[in-house]
Amino acid sequence: MFDARIMPRLDALQMQAGLLLALLACALMSFPATAQIAGKQPQGNNIAARLVADGPARAGEQVTLAIAFDPKPGWHGYWKNPGDAGYGLTLDWQLPAGWEAGEVLYPVPETLLIAGLMNHVYEGPHAVLVPVEVPATYDADGPPQIAVDARWLACTDKICVPESARLTLSLPMAANGGDARFDRWRAELPPLIDRTARFETAGDTLRIAIPLPASLGVADPHLYIEQTGLVDYAATQQFARAGDWLVGEIALSASPEAPQRIEGILALGEGEGIRFSAVPGPVPEGGQVLAASGEAPAYWLLILGALAGGLLLNVMPCVFPILSLKALSLARAGRSKAEARMEGLSYSAGVVLACLGLGGLLLALRAAGQQVGWAFQLQQPGVVVALLVLAGAITANLAGLYALPSFRLSRSGRPLSSFATGLLAAFVATPCTGPFMAAALGAALLLPPIAALLLFGALGLGLALPFLLIGFIPALRNRLPKPGPWMERFRRMMAIPMGLTALALVWLCWRLGGPWFALAAVLLTAAAVALLALWSAGYRPARNRGGYGIALATLTAVAAVGTMTALYSPSIREAGGMLNAQPLSETRLAEARASGAPVFVWFTADWCVTCKVNEQVAIERAETQAAFADAGVVSLVGDWTRGDPEIGGFLEQQGAAGVPLYIWYEPGAAAEQLPQVLGPQSLVSLAERPR
């Protein structure tokens, strides 16, 4: 009896030798302890085994034998390739002369991860089937006698015990109805697909393309490779759909031998699967990325990630301008307990509703075939212009140029401002994809709609959480400054960051539609601010001219929109920069990787403030430029400012919901995703890696 975690990955002979050495070492070094543990072993095998036949043996035909295993609760056996630990079933047949046992057929195994070791196991009752050929010359003079010496390993998550049994069977001479369990056992066997799969190696990654109709749903794919020592069993498995091919990527082991053929099982989820046989050949690139298998985080971890990501958005640079509105609301919330709670709930409702709305629209657009991701609305010039008008109006209001009357939700006097502030905060926060958010938002694009919307709701709750806590916890609220004249001065000061936000939106208008489009947007914003100022000052058109005023305002708006539409001229990102980056395309990426040089790919957008900060801190730097030049790094940039479908496809392949995204390719190696927040030395250290 020994600890399963100490068993290395070896072939069958090495595994048996290692087992004997481990038992001998335990006996020599700790005999008393070993004797005590052995004394507690249960009588008989922990995994009971029985030999069963599906009918009589007839000359020239085939009879199927089954070895049925029934583990005790908490015990498990192993597939033919046990994974990182354990060893598989071995059989030594004693058959009548001329009889021949065929390949052992296994049901789909399960994965079991213990202490970082991935095992391929069976945890409940199961059976392996063995076809046996009966020769045509066989002449039975009595019931055929069959025996097999079977050896297997029985384990819990603590200990393993090598077990064996001599199983015997006297076959019937005539049909007796067979064992009813054979129908179930046969149904549990994965069928062999009738087309040959293909595989190739790319650096330290094995890529396998399995022919599988696109109409066949795949819930939770996982590849079980028969060859031992070929792949890293515990590594995450990535899958993508490329037409009628399912493409799987698995990390290779440290020193694998190049195979000429690969056999295995593709598990499809819920005990279903298929057997495949793969030969070297081209494997499709790209396709629709599916959920990763092997180390996919639990759903509750995704919820926590979305919650933490939303919480951190409160300190991300793209959200800072909205902090002025939050600060004023928090200070005003100190008037009474009831009002503070109402402020917190109203603000939180606005944030969560905005996140759910944006998330639902995102999922609907993707279901309709659109290549969109998080912050997709900022790829639309009209939305950016609307935000510019809103930012300009808020800036003027904070600066004291005008004041608007308070709007109320109901006669009870509950303010609408906190709800509107929450909507605005969530809307402006969407360009950011900060830490913890990447996995959650990436998973949201793959999960069922209800589960995905819960992730978007958790993101909104995280963004609203500080404000909500202050509204409901008096100890936190009491630490806020008391309302007073300082609030007016603070409000005017906060016009500065909001004004900077408006300037950034002007620049984004220019990047989206050209300089004349940006100028028209500025004039429209100025007109809107002037109209609000006049309205606040008490200007009203005469009653008999009210219709003319409304008509004039409508014509002005239509003329402004028409002018902006005519002036809109999409700009094209210029290649270059300090890294001399070229626009990303599949051809350029393939050529760069084939050159044998390191490749750096970054995805950015002009509306992504986090992207711009990273570019100033880590990318567009003289030190990075020098390190890249010394290492011969090829730089490619994917600009997603205007929602390029090709860039959206690249992001989807990487399981990303938006930008920023940074990818590093070592020569001949698979993609390596970098953190979404880069430090000054992040890229320099990658370029200076020894090769």
Q: What is the pLDDT of residues 583-621, one digit of tens each?
A: 988 888 888 888 889 999 999 888 777 788 888 899 999
> Using 50, 70 and 90 to split pLDDT, how confident is the model at 11?
very low
Whether omega before 497 lies within 30 degrees of 0, making that bond cis, reads no
Most confident of 12-26, 78-92, 110-124, 385-399: 78-92
Q: Which residue has the higher pLDDT, 552 or 13?
A: 552
pLDDT surpasses 90 at 190? yes
Confirm if 606 and 659 have CB atoms less than 8 A apart.
Answer: no
Single out the residue of 389, 381, 380, 384 nearest to residue 557, CA to CA: 389
Quick: pLDDT tens for 511-529: 888 888 888 888 888 888 8
Choose the most confident range, by mean pLDDT, from 69-83, 288-302, 320-334: 69-83
Q: For residues 334 and 129, which has the higher predicted lDDT (pLDDT)?
A: 129
* Helices 320-332 and 381-398, packing angle to 10 deg: 40
Residue 11: alpha-carbon gap to chain centroid: 34
Beta strands in 117-253 (DSSP E): 117-122, 126-133, 145-155, 160-170, 197-202, 205-211, 222-225, 238-242, 245-251
Look at residue 154 in the predicted model and tell me its pLDDT: 92
Q: Is the pLDDT reported for residue 443 higher than 70?
A: no
Q: Which two tokens stand for residue 326?
A: 């939050």
Helix, strand, coil percentages, rounded to 5, for the chain: 45, 20, 35
> Looking at the predicted structure, is the pLDDT value of residue 458 above 50?
yes
CA dist 435 and 307 (Å) reads: 11
| Torsion sign across C-alpha atoms 626, 627, 631, 633 | negative
**Tokens 């936000």 belong to residue:** 501
Return the higher-pLDDT residue of 652 and 160.
160
Nearest to 466 by CA among 422, 417, 414: 422
H or E element in which residue 485 lies: none
φ, ψ of residue 68 in degrees (nearest 5): -90, 125
- How far apart CA 239 and CA 208 sit, in angstroms, is 10
Radius of gyration for the alpha carbons in the chain, expressed in angstroms and rounded: 33
- What confidence score (pLDDT) does residue 407 get? 40
pLDDT at 440: 67
Given a contact cutoff of 8 angstroms between Cβ atoms, the answer to whether 533 and 478 are in contact is: no
Q: Is the pLDDT of residue 344 over 90?
A: no
CB 132 within 8 A of CB 102: yes
Maximum Cα–Cα distance for the chain, whole Å? 117
Pick from 316, 323, 348, 322: nearest CA to 432: 316
Residue 599 near residue 636 (C-beta atoms within 8 A): yes
Write the CB contacts of 443 (distance below 8 Å, at least 6 apart in sequence): 291, 296, 297, 302, 452, 455
Find the mean pLDDT for residues 380-408.
76
Q: Contact at 8 Å (CB) between 237 and 222?
A: yes
Q: Kindly list the distances between the CA atom of residue 159 and the CA atoms of 32, 112, 574, 650, in Å, as whole numbers in the listed order.
A: 18, 14, 62, 45
Q: Tell me, what DSSP letter sits at residue 60?
A: T
Most confident of 13-22, 173-182, 186-195, 303-312: 186-195
User: What's the CA gap between 28 and 47, in Å, rounded?
Assistant: 28
Does the pLDDT value for residue 174 go beyond 70? Answer: no
Torsion over CA: 513, 587, 284, 602 (sign): negative
665/325 Cα distance (integer angstroms):
43
Are 380 and 564 a contacting pair, CB within 8 Å?
A: no
Are 107 and 189 spatial neighbours (Cβ–Cβ below 8 Å)? yes
Q: Which of 176-180, 334-338, 391-395, 630-634 has the highest mean pLDDT?
A: 630-634
Residues 162-185: what's their mean pLDDT? 82
Give pLDDT, residue 612: 82
pLDDT band at 369 (very low <50, low <70, confident <90, very high): low
Its CATH architecture, for the domain 197-289, is Sandwich (2.60)
Task: Work out the average pLDDT over 70-94.
Answer: 92
Distance (Å, whole) CA 521 – CA 574:
23
Cα–Cα separations (whole angstroms), residue 113 to 254, 387, 439, 557? 19, 49, 21, 63
95-99, 123-127, 416-420, 552-556: which range is least confident on average?
Answer: 552-556
Residues whose CB is less than 8 angstroms from the CB of residue 536 and which lie 6 or more positions away in sequence, other chains included: 402, 403, 404
Given this model, what pLDDT does residue 329 score?
A: 61
The distance of Cα 64 from the centroid of its chain, to the nearest Å, equals 43
Whether 4-188 and 582-687 share one fold: the answer is no
- pLDDT above 60 for 333: no
Q: Which fold has domain 582-687?
A: Glutaredoxin (3.40.30)
Mean pLDDT of 304-328: 70
- 528 phi and psi, to 5 degrees? -65, -40
Place of tokens 């049909």: 175
Bridge partners for 393 per DSSP: none
Instruction: Domain ranges for the chain, please list them.
Output: 4-188, 197-289, 330-567, 582-687
Is residue 56 within 8 A of residue 178, CB to CB? The reply is no
Range with lowest mean pLDDT among 62-66, 111-115, 312-316: 312-316
Q: What is the pLDDT of residues 245-302, one digit of tens each?
A: 999 999 888 767 778 999 999 998 878 899 999 999 999 887 777 755 544 556 777 7
d(CA 280, CA 283): 9
**Residue 44 pLDDT > 70:** yes
Rounded to an integer, what distance in angstroms lies between the CA atom of residue 434 and that of residue 29?
A: 53
Task: Return the minimum-mean-pLDDT range out of 42-46, 536-540, 578-582.
Answer: 536-540
pLDDT at 21: 31
d(CA 145, CA 65): 13
Where helices occur in 368-448 by DSSP H, the ranges are: 381-398, 417-429, 437-444
* Mean pLDDT score across all residues of the chain: 78
Please report which helix (H) or strand (E) contains residue 277, including its range: strand 272-280
Task: Look at residue 223 in the predicted model and tell me its pLDDT.
Answer: 95
Predicted confidence at residue 5, as pLDDT, reads 37
Q: CA geometry: angle at 37 spanning 34 and 41, to 5°?
A: 130
Q: Is the pLDDT of residue 120 over 60?
A: yes
CB-hemisphere CA count at 13 Å for 261?
A: 4
Domain 4-188 in CATH 3.30.930.10? The answer is no
pTM over 0.85: no
Question: Is 316 within 8 Å of 411 (Cβ atoms)?
Answer: no
User: How far, in Å, CA of 607 to CA of 562, rounded?
Assistant: 24
